[in-house]
């Protein structure tokens, strides 16, 4: 299945974020009652109608809490004005989703990946990739115009999940004298690839591959390729599976005329 979805809807990201900075004052009991049910309040904001707004994370999503003027009750949901404008979206974006995107992007940067494209490319796209994944190869082919033009650097976070020899093949690519060249040969060959799995994978490399697989799961992906990129507003987005052709520009950005 091919679909684009914002990172904000992934259910497993809650545990990845550091504890929020303490609010300026103790939370009202009604808000504490919501926290007791599993929400994590990360900030407060002003709201109309005598309400006090609080932004929280719950199961990886942002929710807004509105404390009533009497201080004894909390409303959970979106607040609309008389014109139908959603007054909840902006506070949640600022207090929940922007920090979440930054945290996830930092985790991707720290993962184990193979560089595919120019160092100075203006756009970076990450993908969790299994050497035995035909859809990873499909996306590799789709991405060639952007990579070869210098517009995109594609970072392959290698995992081993599809077949018993997947981890060994990922290890072979990572341990190659030139990992980028080895990956290029493997993907160019496609089904005809002669990539041999590494028989003796070091504990350190095994740990790095397992860390990639854990991160992939924590970011809400269960299959390869799992593709992550920043949209025009700097928000982290996910594409699960090889994208449809009409989605490529959204992921890769505009293609320059340098080719």
Q: Is the pLDDT of residue 85 over 90?
A: yes
According to the model, what pLDDT value does residue 10 have? Answer: 40
Mean pLDDT of the chain: 89
Which element (helix H / strand E) includes 35?
helix 29-35
Its pTM surpasses 0.85:
no
Convert the pLDDT of each residue in 143-172 to its tens digit. 999 999 999 999 999 999 999 999 999 999
DSSP, res 49: T
Domains and CATH numbers, the chain: 3-79+89-97 (3.10.450.70), 108-252 (3.40.30.10)
Work out the pLDDT band at 99, boundaries 50, 70, 90: confident
Q: Is the pLDDT of residue 255 over 50?
A: yes
Work out the pLDDT band at 256, boundaries 50, 70, 90: confident
Contact 8, 63 (CB under 8 A): no
Q: Is the pLDDT of residue 18 over 50?
A: no
DSSP, res 108: H
According to the model, what pLDDT value does residue 6 have? Answer: 42
According to the model, what pLDDT value does residue 38 have? Answer: 92
Question: CA 63 → CA 88, 91, 144, distances in Å?
Answer: 9, 10, 39
Convert the pLDDT of each residue in 173-223 to its tens digit. 999 999 999 999 999 999 999 999 999 999 999 999 999 999 999 888 999
Contact 2, 240 (CB under 8 A): yes
Q: How far apart are CA 243 and CA 83, in angstroms?
A: 36
């Amino acid at each position: 299945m091919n679909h684009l979805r914002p990172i904000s809807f992934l259910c497993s990201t809650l545990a990845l974020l550091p504890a929020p900075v303490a609010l300026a004052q103790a939370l009202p009991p009604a808000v504490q009652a919501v926290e007791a049910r599993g929400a994590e309040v990360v900030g407060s904001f002003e709201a109309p109608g005598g309400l006090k707004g609080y932004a929280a994370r719950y199961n990886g999503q942002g929710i807004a809490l509105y404390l009533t003027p009497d201080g004894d009750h909390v409303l959970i949901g979106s607040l609309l004005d008389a014109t139908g404008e959603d007054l909840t979206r902006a506070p949640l974006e600022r207090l929940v989703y922007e920090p979440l995107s930054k945290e996830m992007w930092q985790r991707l940067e720290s993962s184990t990946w193979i560089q595919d494209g120019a160092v100075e490319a203006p756009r970076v796209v990450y993908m969790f990739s299994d050497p035995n994944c035909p859809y990873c190869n499909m996306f590799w082919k789709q991405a060639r115009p952007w990579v070869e033009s210098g517009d995109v650097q594609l970072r392959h976070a290698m995992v081993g999940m599809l077949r018993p020899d997947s981890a060994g093949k990922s290890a072979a690519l990572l341990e190659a004298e030139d990992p980028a060249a080895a990956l290029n040969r493997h993907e160019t060959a496609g089904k005809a690839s002669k990539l041999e799995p590494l028989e003796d994978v070091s504990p350190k490399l095994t740990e790095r591959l397992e860390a990639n697989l854990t991160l992939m799961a924590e970011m809400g992906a269960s299959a390869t390729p799992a593709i992550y990129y920043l949209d025009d507003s700097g928000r982290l987005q996910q594409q699960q599976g090889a994208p449809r052709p009409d989605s490529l520009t959204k992921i890769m950005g505009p293609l320059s005329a340098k080719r």
